Amino acid sequence: MKVVIVGAGFGGLRLARKLNNKPGFEVILIDRFNYHQFQPLFYQVATAGLDASNISFPLRKVFQKSKNVRIRLCNLSEVVPSENKIITDVEEISYDVLVLATGADTNFFGNNNLAAHSFPMKSTVEALQIRHRLLQLYEKAHSVKDEEAYQQMMNIVVVGGGPTGVEVSGALAEMKKYVLPKDFPELDFSKMNIYLLEGTDKTLSAMSAKSSNQSEKYLKKLGVDVMTNTLVKNYDGENVQLQNGKLIPALTVIWAAGVKGNIPAGFQNTIIAKGNRIKTDRHCLVEGYNNIYALGDLGYMETPKFPKGLPQVAPVAMQQADLLAGNLRLIERKSNPDKQYEFEYKDKGSMATVGRNLAVVDIPKPKLHFGGFFAWLIWMGLHLMLIVGVKNRFFVFLNWLYNYITYDQNLRLIFKEFNRNEEIKAS
């Protein structure tokens, strides 16, 4: 069975590893990057807490000893179901089974200005762009004499009060308190304002009321200006225009307000659900097809426990990958299709960290809630376990330990493109 997996995120990589060296399978894993990215820690790369290499792991390293998994570095352009093939920017690839695990991208809700001027954080590269943006602004700020322009440089607006928005806001607040004043003693960081804008009436709305209340309390304790029931209307690169007409001057806007599925060309609109996700049945099989599956953030599956669709979180993708791997093995062995397992998400809990010793954890069964230092330890332990590679886990732990002891990071580097021809002319 030739299985083509598009996307090496949590779901795609998990499925490839489950099928690794299994007889009867030929697996091709496709991604636009040659590494797996650990998305939950993007915000720490953006705020100089971790190096990009600490949360990225080369795909070819994962499958060095594999006899049946091969990697292809390319972009998926179109799916041609009638011919059982996909078209990429490099080649055409045929398949017996196609698994789409392309995840989700930033949703700007059709606002081109927001897309052009704000910073998303859905990849390691985008996280590094945020880091470079912040450091470059502060390098320039000491020479700015105009007070309004200076304030514009110092303000940071984070849009979206979900886990990403909460975590990056807390990390920025800790940078403001512990790191930046030592790096830039000539700047007045009392004028640095961090705004967290959330359209609903609370942060972490998908978590319990206790977690929402605690997260907001922690953020305010760190000095973040939390603005709930606040919608962004527009952003021109200099001023954030709110729905109520108010303006927030800021040269840096981090957009964490929504996601949409990465659907390739080749599918009819009838199978596309809200959030640009592909409708699937309980086997992750795309509606109307018998050999195309969708996993994780891309797939839209309704179950008795989740009648409005499964949450777009990493555990869903990994659990679906486990189920699909088992079902594909049944199909490959030509077992009775009726024996295939149906998916039901086992929610083991949710968590978010706000800062040093500050986190929230919800566990559904038994119904438990933790906050503060103990929750922070749980958050760190789980994330260390989920990172791919022993070496990565070791370096992440060392970075966290160093940061905790010294209240500092040493990753505040600005890498600029070197133009050798210009250097030669200048000399």
Domain residues of the chain, as ranges?
2-106+259-339, 112-257
Q: Which CATH class is domain 112-257?
A: alpha beta
Beta bridge partners of residue 249, listed in sequence order: 239
Rounded distance between C-alpha atoms, residue 252 and residue 152, angstroms: 8
Calculate the average pLDDT of the chain: 92
Mean pLDDT score, 32-40: 94
Rounded alpha-carbon distances, angstroms, from residue 293 to 6, 99, 162: 10, 5, 28
Q: To which residue do tokens 């299985």 refer? A: 3
pTM over 0.85? The answer is yes
> Would 2-106+259-339 and 112-257 be classified into the same CATH topology?
yes
Asked whether 360 and 371 are in contact (CB, 8 A), the reply is: yes
Those residues whose C-beta lies under 8 Å from the C-beta of residue 97, and which sit 6 or more positions away, are: 1, 2, 3, 4, 291, 292, 293, 328, 331
Q: Provide CATH code, domain 2-106+259-339.
A: 3.50.50.60
Instruction: Kindly indicate the confidence band of residue 417, based on its pLDDT and cuts at 50, 70 and 90.
Output: low
Instruction: Kindly indicate the confidence band of residue 421, based on its pLDDT and cuts at 50, 70 and 90.
Output: low
User: Which helix (H) or strand (E) element contains residue 363?
Assistant: strand 358-363
Q: How many CB atoms lie within 10 A of CB 379?
A: 21
Q: List the structure tokens of 392.
A: 């990565």
Q: How many CB atoms lie within 10 A of CB 151?
A: 16
Q: How many CB atoms lie within 10 A of CB 122?
A: 19
Beta bridge partners of residue 352, listed in sequence order: 360
Asked whether 6 and 95 are in contact (CB, 8 A), the reply is: no
Rounded distance between C-alpha atoms, residue 408 and residue 399, angstroms: 10
What are the tens digits of pLDDT across the range 144-180? 999 999 999 999 999 999 999 999 999 999 999 999 9
